[in-house]
């Protein structure tokens, strides 16, 4: 399979799985306005995934569509970042996960909007408008929780510390990444690290939170090696299409 297919699928899967995770908060948000806001973020991410999966299906050329790629693949055929499959936990964990992803997505789409692949450049330009809102949303909540009560501060710091080990994969390069960067199609992940670190450190400082030190980082999601959490996500997300193949409504 082509490197372009693999690269597009990776990006699509990260958006799809995070969108599915966030949708678990629907009707359970801490307040009505936040319930609506987080549901809209989830819908945006699933919309990004739909565009990318549709393009991936075209690249693959096997007659599949976005739905088939989303619902009929097994876990080891998913190539999302490990960060996005982590459980929601309390609201601090959800916000920390989103903060890390949003800072990365903003940097990623800003560069991919200049892609030599016109289709990806158009998808990135559209996604960037929405991820900038996502970043404002997660930043505001990180500040509110970090610089709030003693308990909210402790919970937010605990979330930052717990999820930090999954951030290294955001900037890990492999042969697919290098090929895409050399062709000017996608940014090289490692090149985004300085911008991401600057954005995250500024938010954590304002939120009176400590930035974790150097530590061992988890990896493997982009290569199809996942935590046990992905299986549970897919079991729920894929149940109907697998139980009723070809069903339409």
Give the domain ranges of the chain: 3-243
| 7 burial via Cβ count (<10 Å: 0-12, 13-18, 19+) | buried
Task: Please check the confidence at residue 26 and state whether its pLDDT lies above 90.
Answer: no
Q: What is the mean pLDDT of residues 17-25?
A: 96
pLDDT of 35 reads 83
pLDDT in tens, 160-206: 999 999 999 999 999 999 999 999 999 999 999 999 999 999 999 99
Alpha-carbon dihedral angle through residues 169, 175, 181, 186, given to the nearest 10 degrees: -50
C-alpha pair distances (Å), 173 with each of 38, 159, 181? 30, 26, 10
pLDDT mean over 7-21:
98
The DSSP line for 122-167 is HHHHHHHHHHHHHHHHHHHHHHHHHTS-HHHHHHHHHHHHHHGGGS
CA neighbor of 125 nearest in space, from 140, 137, 115: 115
Q: Could you tell me the CA-to-CA distances from 111 to 14, 121, 180, 181 in Å, in that order?
A: 18, 9, 12, 11
pLDDT digit string, tens, across residues 105-148: 999 999 999 999 999 999 999 999 999 999 999 999 999 999 99
Architecture of domain 3-243: Up-down Bundle (1.20)
Token readout for 82 is 């490990």
Tokens of 86: 């982590």
Copy the structure tokens of residue 155. 């919970």
């Amino acid at each position: 399979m082509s490197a372009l297919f693999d690269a597009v699928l990776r990006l699509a899967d990260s958006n799809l799985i995070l969108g599915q995770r966030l949708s678990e908060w629907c009707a359970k948000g801490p307040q009505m306005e936040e319930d609506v806001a987080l549901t809209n973020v989830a819908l945006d991410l699933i919309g990004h995934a739909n565009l990318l999966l549709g393009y991936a299906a075209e690249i693959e050329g096997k007659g599949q569509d976005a739905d088939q790629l989303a619902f009929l693949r097994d876990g080891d055929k998913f190539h999302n970042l490990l960060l996005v499959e982590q459980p929601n936990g309390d609201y601090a964990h959800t916000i920390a996960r989103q903060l890390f992803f949003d800072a990365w997505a903003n940097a990623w789409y800003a560069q991919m909007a200049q892609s030599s692949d016109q289709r990806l450049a158009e998808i990135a330009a559209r996604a960037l408008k929405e991820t900038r809102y996502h970043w404002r949303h997660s930043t505001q909540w990180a500040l509110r929780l970090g610089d709030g009560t003693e308990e909210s501060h402790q919970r937010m710091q605990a979330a930052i510390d717990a999820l930090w080990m999954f951030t290294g994969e955001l900037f890990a390069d492999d042969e697919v990444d290098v090929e895409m960067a050399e062709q000017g199609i996608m940014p090289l992940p490692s090149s985004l690290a300085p911008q991401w670190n600057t954005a995250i450190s500024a938010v954590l400082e304002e939120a009176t939170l400590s930035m974790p030190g150097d530590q061992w980082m988890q990896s493997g999601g982009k290569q199809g090696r996942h935590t046990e959490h992905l299986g549970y996500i897919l079991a729920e997300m894929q149940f109907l299409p697998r139980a009723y193949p070809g069903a339409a409504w």
